[in-house]
A and B are shown apart, each in its own frame.
Chain A
Amino acid sequence: MAVEQTTKPPIRWHIAVFLAPAVLVYTAVMILPLFSTLQLSLFSDINNSQVFVGLGNFRTLFGDPRWAEQFWNALGNNVWFFVIHMLVQNPIGILLAAILSSPRLRMRAFYRTAIFIPTILSFVIAGFAWKLILSPLWGVAPNLLDLVGLKSLFQPWLGKEAYALTTLALISVWQFVGIPMMLIYAALLSIPDELLEAAECDGITGMAQFWKIKLPLVLPAIGIISILTFVGNFNAFDLIYSTQGALAGPDFSTDILGTFMYRTFFGFQLQLGDPNLGAAIATAMFVIILIGVSIYLFGIQRRLRRYQF
């Protein structure tokens, strides 16, 4: 280097060179649009020019009964979508991980690989595959139920208002169970053997060992999974759109915030698209996700006890 070492250290340009590309792309394509979306939600299109309306869009969204009803419907559905994931996906994931991590299990790699396969498929594939299977036209699902003598239970689940959302949530659970399974499996593997042997010396084995020793140790991993599920669910769109379309039928019973934002932004049928109102919905989603992440970071993560091995 030509620059001589003097009392004043030279500017280390290489740091800037290393950081610049990532920071530029990230800022230009992610952070700036995010903030200008927040900003757009404060404007409205009046006679083809953007006019500042303050919280006007939010007043429409929460005050106008037509919009408010749709918003709360979408939010409620989204909450239910999340609840199903927490109640079904994570326990199944933990169960599978616990079984997979038991020593001397044969064919472990096969099970692991096979159970993770749905996770790599796109929502479009998962959605359509289940739509076909559950279709009363094709009859795969009713025939299978017939095999176990439960044919009378069959309903066109995706077409009934009462069941459609739960069915879609379960399809999504089917698809993503691999992620909690893998992360908890990894956490369980990292528990040192000495700890488990010590537990066995004290007579804690089998189920008791799982509940008293292993589960508390993997709680941080369960916390991470919960927050990942939360962010993923409140940002979901693809599965609903590809199975039920932008109208999230039947009669909006499967409408979640993602599809609601898409419809508002681009318009559908007779309603024109409104980017500003779409931005307002995106802002509401932003606030919801931010609240969830903050609760996790400041409320839950700090209370979780971490053990150093």
Chain B
Amino acid sequence: MSTARHSPFHSAAAHAILILYTIIALFPVFVIVVNAFKSRKAIFREPLALPDAESFSLIGFETVLKQGDFLLYFQNSLIVTVVSLFLVLLFGAMAAFALSEYRFKGNTLMGLYLALGIMIPIRLGTVAILQMMVASGLVNTRTALILVYTAQGLPLAIFILSEFMRQVSDDLKNAGRIDGLSEYRIFFRLVLPLVRPAMATVAVFTMIPIWNDLWFPLILAPAEETKTITLGAQVFIGQFVTNWNAVLAALSLAILPVLVLYLIFSRQLIRGITSGAVK
């Protein structure tokens, strides 16, 4: 390796740029979370100071817990996300297996049909989706959201998973067939365990947009009992605009669960992105 690329000057410049951008990326999150734990006066007097014994206050969180039903919102978000995620992974893996394993008439066409949804956003069909949900009485139910998110997540899941399933060795599957395993057992017992890393990648990519979505909860399930945390935070903040403690606390409550999940899964996510998202 040449010395030019690794001179101390270059290295220092690289770190300077990265540190600068890291500060830009984290600063807003830092300001919000830090100020959520301060009293109203301290928020305005010294917005950038860490809370100390004098300025520490949980008044914002108390307001949030009293006024908004955040536990319920959180539960709704969790149910919707987990169930949609499960369905996307199960149905997506099954379809990906059919497309990558068997030769049948219309295979390519079916693959293209299912890939259409990667480029065309499901939101454009909102008007008709709402009418359909009204007609079937599913408005303001979590089922409506689960159905929409399952459909939304499937195209990308099928696309990525079938790429991975093509790499599973044919000999292994044929050995299973000779041993008399049914096609279903081959899928569930042999192939699924082998593509687990790819499933984890798809899971993270599917989960983030579902958890963060505002559009469909706002349109399909705005009722109090079915609000997700993203919509709940949006409405709460709209009502309490002038109560800075409450707004900052609500934002922190919305940030922290995602942040914790991300820090747990970040290794998986990054490995997933760097292992085959770009073809």
Q: Would A112 and B270 count as touching, CB distance under 8 A?
A: yes
What B residues does A117 contact at CB under 8 A?
25-26, 29, 259, 262
Given A124-B230, A238-B215, check contact A113 B183 (CB 8 Å): no
Contact code string A79-118 (vs B, CB < 8 Å = 1, else 0): 0000000000000100110011011111101011111111
Q: Would A183 and B277 count as touching, CB distance under 8 A?
A: yes
Which of A100, A132, A205, A265 lies at the interface centre, i.e. has the most chain B CB atoms within 10 A of its CB? A132
Contact code string A13-29 (vs B, CB < 8 Å = 1, else 0): 01101110111011011
Contact code string B1-25 (vs A, CB < 8 Å = 1, else 0): 1101110001100110110011011
What A residues does B230 contact at CB under 8 A?
122, 124
Instruction: Report the bound CA distance from A187 to B279 in whole Å.
Output: 9
B152 within 8 A of A: yes
- By size class, the interface of chain A is 35 or more
What A residues does B124 contact at CB under 8 A?
34, 37, 235, 282, 285-286, 289
Which of A21, A32, A122 makes the CB contact (< 8 A) with B128?
A: A32
| Complex interface: stretch among A133-141, A149-157, A158-166 | A133-141
Q: Would A139 and B47 count as touching, CB distance under 8 A?
A: yes
B53 within 8 A of A: no
Which of B18, B121, B219, B275 makes the CB contact (< 8 A) with A231?
A: B121
Given A99-B18, A111-B18, A128-B237, check contact A37 B125 (CB 8 Å): yes
Instruction: Report the bound CA distance from A59 to B114 in whole Å.
Output: 33
For B92, give the chain A residue with the smallest CB separation. A22
B86 within 8 A of A: no
What B residues does A22 contact at CB under 8 A?
91-92, 94-95, 114, 154, 158
| Dominant SS among interface residues on chain A | helix
- By size class, the interface of chain B is 35 or more
Instruction: Report the bound CA distance from A113 to B119 in whole Å.
Output: 27
Instruction: Report the bound CA distance from A3 to B59 in whole Å.
Output: 71
Given A21-B94, A275-B131, check contact A114 B31 (CB 8 Å): no
Instruction: Report the bound CA distance from A277 to B194 in whole Å.
Output: 49
Chain A residues with CB under 8 Å of chain B are 1, 12, 14-15, 17-19, 21-23, 25-26, 28-34, 36-37, 40, 92, 95-96, 99-100, 102-107, 109, 111-126, 128-130, 132-133, 138-140, 143, 174, 177, 182-183, 185-187, 189-190, 200, 205-206, 220-221, 224, 227, 231, 235, 237-238, 241-242, 258, 261, 265-266, 275, 278-279, 282, 285-286, 289-290, 293
A-B residue pairs, 9 tightest by C-beta: A122-B212, A33-B125, A18-B98, A22-B95, A29-B151, A33-B128, A34-B125, A36-B128, A186-B274
A-B contact pairs, 12 of them (CB 8 A): A14-B182, A18-B94, A19-B94, A105-B14, A117-B25, A117-B262, A120-B208, A120-B259, A122-B212, A125-B251, A128-B237, A293-B119
